Structure 1
């Protein structure tokens, strides 16, 4: 039986990047039937119970996954590299948001800004602690301050995911500070 960390990493891969890995298809809003997910995981040598799936969803420290109201569907909250519409509503951001990175990325960021790369959005945090955790995944973290309210006032569109990650298409370098 796989442990919760293994299940969470596998779900991230499947629900954010490669649903075809186990032969499932996400709907346009990135949902998949829980029964289909569990059946197809089992067909690919990863048999987990609904209770284990619920535990992964509710204990994931980044709240990466959500169930719909009746627990019949599941999806990743953000971070997709495949085309989906998360049906997010635009939001007014706080004055400052944060982005965690590492030193080797700074030259490019201050020249070109932040881009979504292979994902659907740039991810920003409302607090420095979260940004630091994100940056730590790649080395010694550096926290960037993003003038988000100024961007919003100039017409940039912000979204807030279900797990409170701020999302935007890009951040031009003039709004980024150390």
Structure 2
């Protein structure tokens, strides 16, 4: 499968597993897992460009990015983060983050974040990074003019925020009060 088709497949998988499983006629459990064969068949039927879709193609699509966004276990697949639908967080995923994490955002959002805190908005959880540069790079996908907030995780935990480690360098968290934030750029 060529790069363009693998990129398209990755977007389809994210849409199905993060936002709209019902559009693909798949059953998702409370932790976000769906049967891989069920999803493959649905994509094959719905999109003539993927009538020959194989499990190998899915693995190839998932292995393209720098960060793992999906996982496959026991013939089931799920998105690891980025959901706009409610997924039950696994309590074993709750972690103790570094003292500081970072969140990049377009500059136009700064005043609102300083007033209201970091809110998940259309996602279920807030995305945070262990490095300032990763946070800024993520924000640059939406704007060339970005700001970066430093999150005091000790204060945030004291305020009841839950942090979940998703992969190396990436965390997600429940909404974070503005008193645990400091703008650094």
Q: TM-score, normalised by structure 2?
A: 0.88
The structure 2 residue matched to 1:124, chosen from 113, 118, 128, is: 128
Q: 1:163 to 1:52 in 2, by over 3 A?
A: farther
Q: Within 5 Å, give how 1:20-169 maps onto structure 2.
A: 20-45=22-47, 46-47=50-51, 48-68=53-73, 70=74, 72-89=75-92, 90-140=94-144, 141-162=146-167, 164-169=169-174
- Contact 2:156–2:177 (CA under 8 A) maintained in structure 1: no
Give the whole-Å Cα distance in 1 for the aligned partners of 2:169 and 2:71: 12
The unaligned stretches of length 5 or more in structure 1 are: none
Q: TM-score, normalised by structure 1?
A: 0.91
- Per the TM alignment, residue 175 of structure 1 is displaced from its structure 2 partner at its CA by 1.3
- Per the TM alignment, residue 61 of structure 1 is displaced from its structure 2 partner at its CA by 2.1
Give the whole-Å Cα distance in 2 for the aligned partners of 1:163 and 1:119: 20
State the 4+ residue runs in structure 1 displaced beyond 4 angstroms.
none
Partner secondary structure for residue 63 of structure 2: helix
- Contact 2:104–2:135 (CA under 8 A) maintained in structure 1: yes
Name the residue aligned to 1:19. Answer: 21
Number of matched pairs: 176
